[in-house]
Amino acid sequence: MPVDRPNANLRPLSLHVPEPKFRPGDTVDFSDLAVPPAGAALRPASDAAPDSFRDLAYGLVRVLGEDNRAIGAWDPKLPPDRLRAMLRAMALTRAFDERMYRAQRQGKTSFYMKSTGEEAIAVAAAFALMPDDMCFPSYRQQGLLIARDWSLVDMMNQIYSNRADRLHGKQLPIMYSVREKGFFSISGNLTTQYPQAVGWAMASAASGDTRIAATWCGEGSTAEGDFHSACTFASVYRAPVILNVVNNQWAISSFSGFAGAESTTFAARAVGYGIAGLRVDGNDALAVYAATEWAAERARTNQGPTLIEHFTYRAEGHSTSDDPSQYRSAHEAAEWPLGDPIKRLKDHLIALGEWDEERHAAMDLELAETVKAAAREAEKNGVLGHGLHQPLETMFEEVFEDMPWHLAEQRQEMLDEAKAAGLEIGR
């Protein structure tokens, strides 16, 4: 017999399952997206208490207006040469992405991830940080290395996992590691870089250093425990770190609602931890620069961490293994109301009388040739499927400072078996 329940007349409970607005074939309409005018956001002093500017975690810091002019308190007032350098680095990042995407489609590497539409987030931040500040990136911040003038050939060697790959093929393509440029090893495990960045920043402060840390993750990764552990430590110890959340609307095929975007902003995570929070137009290079510069000033003056949500859109697939046409409308990227970051910065320079379409086209051609020449150079060192590029035993090396006995034993066992089978060993 059924058990009597005192609340039997109540309606049954139900769960809310987030659903994106647009699916394949749908007409796209972003008219309900609140985009405040450029220059509307107030800019607090860099030493202001986090609870005095909570509204900035819910609004949108914008500098470039509809007339392509910079406006408002967040305008960093950069000289034209600085703006042109930033534009060039963004355009070079896009050219690099295009070339490596084609290389993957040609079978020269197994995997690639483009940053199309998100170039300003990495490049503008790199320009705002000091060259020796430590970056803990996710896998779509190749613009950091390019903005810091790192070798394109070296990056391509890693992508091709060839004989000049400094990581000896131990990392998935695009997971660079460049100590010389303060670029921490990328990990395929989501958000592990967050506690690493906070720990590094704490160590820098504890040792009396002057360098700060900056880290990036996608909005989907804010659901990971590492994100929240990092925020707790950063808040408690006032670590000199910038916590960047790249809200590009999609975590592979899961839209941002599954990480909480329907309830509040991602910058609002900062409010709960008592740290500074900003929500920024991620397609506005000047806004990204200004927000990073402001957060860096807070970190350097012992005001603690800042969490910056970069509101943007992933214009293409998550990676070369992804087909976004299977889960979102094909028109979303074109209809995104915040536009293209490269075009917006280009149009700003043109409005200033410091650039023109002819020079921009010439720069694009030059950069395409630069990337093409770098690819030719890297491919001399080998590409995917063209034999063994690294000696077999290197898979056991450069992991431990002193190789444990059991790994040395396994390595020798492998080499003996390979020799008996007549396989190429490499050394």
Alpha-carbon gap, residue 379 to 108, rounded angstroms: 9
Structure tokens that stand for 355 in this block: 């650039």
Q: Mean pLDDT score of the chain, rounded to an integer?
A: 95
Best CA proximity match to 246, nearest among 214, 275, 274: 214
For the chain, domains (ranges, CATH) are 50-379 (3.40.50.970), 391-427 (no CATH)
Which parts of 351-401 are beta strand (E)?
none
Query: What whole-number distance in Å separates Cα of residue 120 and Cα of residue 286?
Result: 9
- Mean pLDDT of the 52-75 span: 98
pLDDT per residue as tens digits for the range 226-239? 999 999 999 999 99
Give residue 1's pLDDT.
53
Q: Is residue 284 within 8 Å of 62, Cβ to Cβ? A: yes
User: What does DSSP assign to residue 30?
Assistant: -
- 175-186 pLDDT, tens digit each: 999 999 999 999
Q: Which residue has the higher pLDDT, 398 or 142?
A: 142
How many Cβ atoms from other residues are within 10 Å of residue 175's Cβ? 18
**What pLDDT is recorded for position 128?**
98
Greatest extent of the chain over all pairs of C-alpha atoms, in Å: 83
Helices 193-206 and 225-237: crossing angle, nearest 10°? 20
At 427, is the pLDDT very low, low, confident or very high (cuts 50, 70, 90)? low
**What pLDDT, on a 0 to 100 scale, did the predictor assign at position 419?**
87
pLDDT tens column, 331-389:
999 999 999 999 999 999 999 999 999 999 999 999 999 999 999 999 999 998 877 77
Q: What is the pLDDT of residues 164-221, one digit of tens each?
A: 999 998 899 999 999 999 999 999 899 999 999 999 999 999 999 999 999 999 999 9
- What's the CA dihedral at 169, 107, 120, 66 to 10 degrees? -170
Residue 423 predicted with pLDDT over 80: no
Which pLDDT score, from 0 to 100, does residue 385 have?
Answer: 80
Residue 425 pLDDT grade (very low, low, confident, very high; cuts 50, 70, 90): low
10: how many CB neighbours lie within 10 A of its CB?
8
Share of the chain above pLDDT 70, in %: 98
Instruction: List, in sequence order, every beta strand (DSSP E) within 156-288.
Output: 213-218, 241-247, 250-251, 254-255, 276-281
- Look up residue 326 and give its two tokens: 């299977």
